[in-house]
Copies of this chain bind each other. A is one copy, B any other.
Amino acid sequence: MPHEQYQTVIKTLHECMEACNHCYDACLKEDDIQMMSDCIRLDRECADICGYFEQALGRGTPFVSVLAGVCAQICEACGNECKKHDHDHCQKCAKACFECAEECRKLAA
């Protein structure tokens, strides 16, 4: 069953989505929000694709590898932006994004 076969990646996608949404929310409350605009934008893109892919895996989508490929790219880009910023939420988000990109690359291969 899909939700068993993909248990690890679903968990990783979920943690990445949560880290991105938390980082997005926290960035919008920062004083230096001007510097965070790319981070806000990428957090949304990344949370949305992770949430999307997690659902698609859970419902047995036939498009696993192609969706994994796009998700890996978006996670990688979001991680690269987040790691530039010292905020704790950005550093945690970068870590979650890179782990998720790694898991997605395995599925895409």
Where the two chains meet, the residues of A that have a C-beta atom closer than 8 Å to any C-beta of B are 1-3, 10, 14, 17-18, 21-22, 24-26, 28-29, 31, 33-34, 37, 40-42, 44-45, 47-48, 51-52, 54-56, 58-63, 66-67, 69-70, 73-74, 77
Contacts and interface: CB of A to CB of B under 8 A. Distances in A.
B59 A21 contact: yes
Assembly stoichiometry (copies): 4
A22 B59 CA distance: 6
B3 A18 contact: yes
A55 to B, nearest CB: 5
Nearest to A73: B66
A71 to B, nearest CB: 9
A63 B59 contact: no
